[in-house]
Every structure is written in structure tokens, then in C-alpha cells.
Amino acid sequence: MKKTIPFILLLLTACNQPAEKAKPKPDMPMPVATDTAKAALKKLAFDAETDLVCGMPVRAGIEDTLHYKGKLYGFCAKECKEEFLKDPAQYITKK
């Protein structure tokens, strides 16, 4: 019985340790896809010159897009797109 108690304590303390997070190695290059995607977004023809939710100009920076009723809209952030999707008609009429 005395031999099992230390083993159980070892298991309990090991389970309470935080898991190690995977860290990128410093010698690994960053993905190029992000730069390519941002360049592609700048070439798109949006149906509104501003983010319909916050009013930011789409040429200042787009993080997300949405096709809605055959038109392409750009949003500065995922949150603006989510807000738009709650009531698209409200934002389309402001345009």
C-alpha cells in the first residue's frame, strides 16, 4: 500500500501541470500566403467604398469579405462582418 501512494501523488501533480504550447522555431520563415492574400484583397472591386458597419474606407485595410445578394462587401474586421450579418438590410440602406 505504501508504494502506491507516491505513484498516485505523482499522477495528481503531473495532471496539474500546464501543457507546453508549440512555439515556432525562430529560423522558420513566416508563411507568404498572408501577404499574397492581402495583395489579392486590394485588387478586388468592392460594391461599397467603406466598411458598411464602421465606415472605415475599404482601401485602408480589409480583413474579411462577404458576397451578399450578388455584391461584394469588405469589412475591416471579423466583428464588423458578424454585425452586418445580424441585419444586412439596415446597413445596405445606409449606403
Which residues does 42 contact at the CB level (< 8 Å), separation at least 6? 59, 62
Please provide the average confidence, as pLDDT, over all residues in the chain: 77
H/E run at residue 63: none
Per residue in 5-48, pLDDT (tens digit) is 555 555 455 455 555 555 656 665 655 556 777 777 777 889 99
Task: Return the closest-CA partner of residue 77 out of 49, 46, 53.
Answer: 53
Neighbours of 38 (CB within 10 A): 12
Please tell me the predicted confidence (pLDDT) of residue 18: 56
Ramachandran angles phi, psi of 26, nearest 5°: -65, -25
